[in-house]
Structure 1
Amino acid sequence: MKGLLTFLVLIIVLVIAVIIGSRNQELVTINYLIAQSELRQSTLMAIVFSLGVVIGMLTFFSSWLKLTWKVKSLRNQLKRLSTEE
């Protein structure tokens, strides 16, 4: 049931993204430090959103990995303390 609900929310978000993307077709000039390019506004929004998702996933993964190592360390410490008694 939870998977179905997640799937439906994902479909709704994708439909909203397609609608927003189809309504924003203007060209936008992007100025980099050494270059300049023109992109459609919907493409720029997709790129920025994707970068945000990737950065968020990397941040989540690094904190998850740190906590996993901490749990493993605490379990080893608990095993050592329980075998000493």
Structure 2
Amino acid sequence: MKFLLLFLLVLVIFIISITLGAHNDRVVTFNFLLAQGEFRISTLLASLFGVGFLLGWAICGLFWLRVRMQLANSQRKLKRLQQQIQNDTTAAAASAPTVKE
């Protein structure tokens, strides 16, 4: 359900950007770091929207990957500690004197 709502939101934003871009055929001069170019506003809006969308997904993907690696590391440490506790309790039970009556 969450995926469907996210997909619909992205679709609505994409349709709105296409609608706005279709009515803007004016040519503008765009100065970027290394050069200067003349683009239609619709093309400029669509390309910048796409670049921003991909950049956002890349950044979120990197954060997600970092969290997943931390989770895997924590789970490995937890498993190691649980095995150590289990070994300590079995060793303590084996070395404990038995009471005979």
* TM-score, normalised by the number of residues in structure 1: 0.82
* Aligned position for 1:57: 57
Give the match for residue 82 of structure 1.
82
Structure 2 residue ranges without an equivalent (≥5): 86-101
Structure 2: how far apart are the matches of 1:57 and 1:13? 16
Identity of aligned residues (%): 35
Measured after TM superposition, the shift of residue 32 of structure 1 is 3.6
Q: Normalising by structure 2, what TM-score?
A: 0.70
Q: 1:8 and 1:66 mapped to 2: Cα distance?
A: 28
| Residues 7-55 of structure 1 deviation map (CA, whole Å, 9 limit, x = unaligned) | 5444433332221011111001122445322100010011111111111
Mind listing any 5+ residue stretches in structure 1 that lack a counterpart? Answer: none
Question: Is 1:66 paired with 2:66?
Answer: yes
- Please show how residues 1-85 of structure 1 align to structure 2 within 5 Å: 5-85=5-85
RMSD: 2.0
Q: Give the count of matched residue pairs.
A: 85
Partner residue in 1 for 2:93: none
